[in-house]
Amino acid sequence: MSKGFNPLRSNPCVYMRQRASNLEIITVWVDDLLIFTNSDPIIENLKVELHSIFNIMDIGEPMKIVRIKVTMGENSITISQSKYIESILKHEGMDPEKIKPVKSPLDPNIQLVPNPEGTDGDRSNDYASLLGALQFLTCTTCPDIAYAVSRLSRFTANLSKTHYATVKRLLCYLAGTRQYGLTYKADKPYLQRENLFYSYC
C-alpha cells in the first residue's frame, strides 16, 4: 500500500435558515456550494442575497461535488463515486480493469483477530489511511461496505497479513461495484403533496 491517501483536505460545512415555512440549506465545500430550498422562488431570492454579499457564479445544477457524481432524473437524484473508487484502486497499485471482482466485501470464512505476535502498529500507517478513504465511501455512496470497514478499522494498531489481504479483497469488491450508486426517487403521492424536506438523524 502506498502512502498518504487523503480523501478530504478540509471539512464541508452546512448552514440552515428557517423563516416561517421557508427552509434554506447551504452546504459549502472549499469554494463550491449547494443550495437547497423548499420552493423555486425561495432559491432565486437566496441566490440574489448571496450575490449581494459574495462574488459567486451560478453554474446550474450540480454534476459533481466532494468527489460525488450527481445525476439528476425527472423525479430522482443518483449519487455515485466510480472515479473516486478508481483513484483509490490506482493509488494502491491496482488496475480497475484487470481486477477480478468478488461478490461480497468480506470472506465469511476469515476470522479477523489482532496480530498474534502482539506487535503494535502505527496508527498513522498506510492501512489506516486507506481505511479513512473507504470510510468516506461508506458515509456517502457505499453503505454496503460499512460493516467490512468497521471490522477492519479495529486492527490499525495490531495488523497482520490477514488484515492486508482482507482489505485487498474489499478493494476487489469495490472494483466490481464501482458503477453502482444510490438513487433517491420521489413517488407519485409525494409529488402531489407540498414540496417539503424530511430529515432523520
Mean pLDDT for 137-157 is 94
| pLDDT given at position 195 | 55
pTM: 0.78
| pLDDT given at position 99 | 95
Instruction: Find all residues with CB under 8 Å of 21, minimum gap 6, and list them.
Output: 38
**166: closest CA among 112, 122, 114?**
112
Q: Render pLDDT for 16-51 as a digit per residue (tens, 0 to 9).
A: 999 888 899 999 888 888 998 888 899 999 999 999
Q: Render pLDDT for 85-96 as a digit per residue (tens, 0 to 9).
A: 999 999 999 999
Concatenated DSSP letters of the chain: --S---S-SS--EEEEEEETTEEEEEEEETTEEEEEESSHHHHHHHHHHHHHHS------S-SEETTEEEEE-SSEEEEE-HHHHHHHHHHTT--TTT----SSSS-TTPPP---TT-PPPPTTSHHHHHHHHHHHHHHHT-GGGHHHHHHHHTTTTS--HHHHHHHHHHHHHHHHHTT-EEEEE--HHHHTS--------
| Arithmetic mean of pLDDT over the chain | 86
Residues composing the chain: 201
Percentage of the chain beyond pLDDT 90 is 55
Res. 176: pLDDT tops 50: yes
CB 178 within 8 A of CB 85: yes
Please give the angle made by the CA atoms of 145, 90 and 79, to the nearest 5 degrees. 45
Instruction: Find all residues with CB under 8 Å of 1, minimum gap 6, and list them.
Output: 92, 126, 127, 130, 164
Dihedral sign for Cα 104, 107, 111, 112, please.
Answer: negative
| pLDDT given at position 1 | 47
Q: Render pLDDT for 70-113 as a digit per residue (tens, 0 to 9).
A: 999 888 899 999 999 999 999 999 999 999 999 999 999 988 98
Please give the angle made by the CA atoms of 184, 78 and 71, to the nearest 5 degrees. 135
Instruction: Find all residues with CB under 8 Å of 87, minimum gap 6, and list them.
Output: none
